[in-house]
Structure 1
Amino acid sequence: MGRIQLKKVTKRFGDVEVIPPLDLTIEDGEFTVFVGPSGCGKSTLLRLIAGLEDTSDGLIEIDDADATALPPSKRGLAMVFQSYALYPHMTVRKNIAFPMKMAGMDQAEQDRRIEAAAKALNLTDYLDRRPGQLSGGQRQRVAIGRAIVREPAAFLFDEPLSNLDAALRVGMRMEISELHKKLDTTMIYVTHDQVEAMTMADKIVVLQAGVIEQVGSPLELYRTPRNKFVAGFIGSPKMNFVEGPEAAKHGAHTIGVRPEHIDVVESGGEWHGTVGVAEHLGSDTFFHIHNTGLAETLTVRAIGDVKLNHGDTIHLSPRLEEMHKFGADGLRIG
């Protein structure tokens, strides 16, 4: 079991309230991602759940039992940090075994768990190597293996991929998602990277200044963001926002249109502008458009390798059915 409930959980550092009273339920077996900009409180919230920070007010329940005052070792959770924190003089086997050895576990049970974790993480051939002989991705898998053998109620990941290069991050993202399917255990994952959040999560929790802005599945947040902040944070490249007369024409203070929902047309489009930088990715081309009279820059996604040059005039047609409308308070209209 791994159901975690936060009830009016609050965190203050002196007189500064970094997390106002907050309610959240993470169901057993869910892959939940905390996402938001730097300083939004996502890592602090994870540390409160882990017991590495004390709550100022409120309750933390794990499987319906009050864990608010329990030390980290008694919560049945396993945390994987951004830093691998491996012992360089120990083999992979001994690194993975370390928490079980400290707990005085029987050697036969240690061996069983090590073999199972190594198989799940494709580390069987590396058990007798030391961390210095491994790649960054392999070292991260060892750190995850050390968490797996504890057989926790939930795994807590604090930006575990930020030290890896882009290609390794994509690979490890898939490996952690596959691991979640295999283990069917609750996982809470902190990241500032909304692409990681969108591709990995069952449920995303979007945070800003310690406040939960929205909770939902990746597609719920993409399709129906509850406010302008969530709309601008979820999706890559980010949503275009337009104010003024064009927004008023659609009955809103601000309209938002994602780059993939603006079509490039030969002529007669509702909007037009001048092509600035074009990012040719093969499967897609991203155009950054100036002189539209709508916003400083509009970003438009075109399918394939579209041939338009810097300085060309471009005609655009936003898909009205995909347009998002926001009031002056930033909240979604309708």
Structure 2
Amino acid sequence: MTSVTIRIDGQDATDTPPAKRGLAMVFQSYALYPHMTVARNIAFPLRMAKMEKAEIDRRVRAAAEVLNLTDYLDRRPGQLSGGQRQRVAIGRAIVREPKAFLFDEPLSNLDAALRVGMRLEISELHERLGTTMIHVTHDQVEAMTMADKIVVLQAGVIEQVGSPLELYRAPRNLFVAGFIGSPKMNFIKGEEAARRGAHTIGIRPEHIDVVENGGVWQGTVGVAEHLGSDTFVHVHDTGLADTITVRVPGEVSHRSGDRIGLAPREDQIHRFDAQGLRIG
């Protein structure tokens, strides 16, 4: 997905007085004032709009309660963790009481653990506020877990619009098929695809079964990534593609160099034509 620039009435959104716009933006960079307390950072756009102090205090307290920042209102940004700073940036947007939020890759500066935590917090915030949120991200896991509807963009062109599961189950083209899903979909061309009436076929790692005897495809284990709950087996020498990735539930004993059989689930094979568009 790609970043978005929004202009309102001929002005950049960040130049429009907060009280006069229905959109609030939260950026990748927290953009907090280091010399101000959390409370003053959150209140800043309201003070610039010359709102009454009593109303400012009410909105700041309400936002702090929603974001669990009540105990940090007197601290400065340098005394906060990355996740807490991002919550302050979100609070600064919440107090404007906008009709919609635009999140421009707000989690990309956080480490892995904080990303998961903030992903949940933003999703819960969406449920509580009931406000439209547009979330721009390059991370398909964020898109799949946070969105009601996903718009997949490539070079500024909309490739597909739909719910996360709609895009997962029926990708419109090769780009969407490769973007949605982790590990990504396996793509196969040549005779194997032609036999199924396609230029390219795709099958997700979780839709290929490892079999002890036989199997439609045969290959050699290259690397097996053991994650505990799942094992990702990367299979070479299949004659189909450089690597076929298989997602196996639980722990498996396959080692590098083992020969294994693969059984693709035929009803889960996606077909694409020479232009990369979905067939059927």
1:97 is matched with which residue?
Answer: 43
CA root-mean-square deviation = 1.0
Query: In the aligned structure 1, how far is the partner of 2:155 from the partner of 2:50?
Result: 42
Aligned match for 2:245, one of 299, 302, 307: 299
Between the two proteins, the alignment pairs up a number of residues equal to: 275
Query: In the aligned structure 2, how far is the partner of 1:313 from the partner of 1:268?
Result: 11
Structure 2 unaligned segments of length 5 or more: list them: none
Shift of 1:68: 4.9
- 1:327 lines up with 2:268 in the alignment: no
1:242 is matched with which residue?
Answer: 188
1:212 is matched with which residue?
Answer: 158
Greater fraction of residues in strand: 1
Q: TM-score, with normalisation over the residues of structure 1?
A: 0.81
Between the two proteins, what is the percent identity of the paired residues?
77
Q: C-alpha deviations, 1:266-312, integer Å up to 9, x for none?
A: 11110110001111000000011000000000000000011111100
Q: TM-score, with normalisation over the residues of structure 2?
A: 0.96
Q: Cα 1:162–1:71, aligned 2, differ >3 Å: closer, same or farther?
A: closer
Structure 1 unaligned segments of length 5 or more: list them: 1-35, 37-41, 52-66
Q: Secondary structure at the match of 2:5?
A: helix
Query: In the aligned structure 1, how far is the partner of 2:61 from the partner of 2:136?
Result: 28
2:139 is matched with which residue?
Answer: 193
Query: In the aligned structure 2, how far is the partner of 1:266 from the partner of 1:299?
Result: 17
- 1:232 lines up with 2:172 in the alignment: no
Q: C-alpha deviations, 1:126-176, integer Å up to 9, x for none?
A: 111100000000000000000000001110111001110000000000000
Q: Secondary structure at the match of 1:289?
A: strand
Q: Secondary structure at the match of 1:286?
A: strand
Query: In the aligned structure 1, how far is the partner of 2:9 from the partner of 2:188?
Result: 45
Letter in 1 for 2:181: G
Bigger relative contact order, structure 1 or 2 (CA pairs below 8 A, ≥6 apart): 1
2:31 is matched with which residue?
Answer: 85
Letter in 2 for 1:282: G
Letter in 1 for 2:29: S
Query: In the aligned structure 1, how far is the partner of 2:38 from the partner of 2:141?
Result: 31
Shift of 1:70: 5.5
1:314 is matched with which residue?
Answer: 260
1:281 is matched with which residue?
Answer: 227
Q: How does 1:2-41 map to 2 (within 5 A)?
A: 36=1
Query: In the aligned structure 2, how far is the partner of 1:69 from the partner of 1:159?
Result: 24
Runs (4+) off by over 2 Å: 67-72
Query: In the aligned structure 2, how far is the partner of 1:246 from the partner of 1:298?
Result: 14
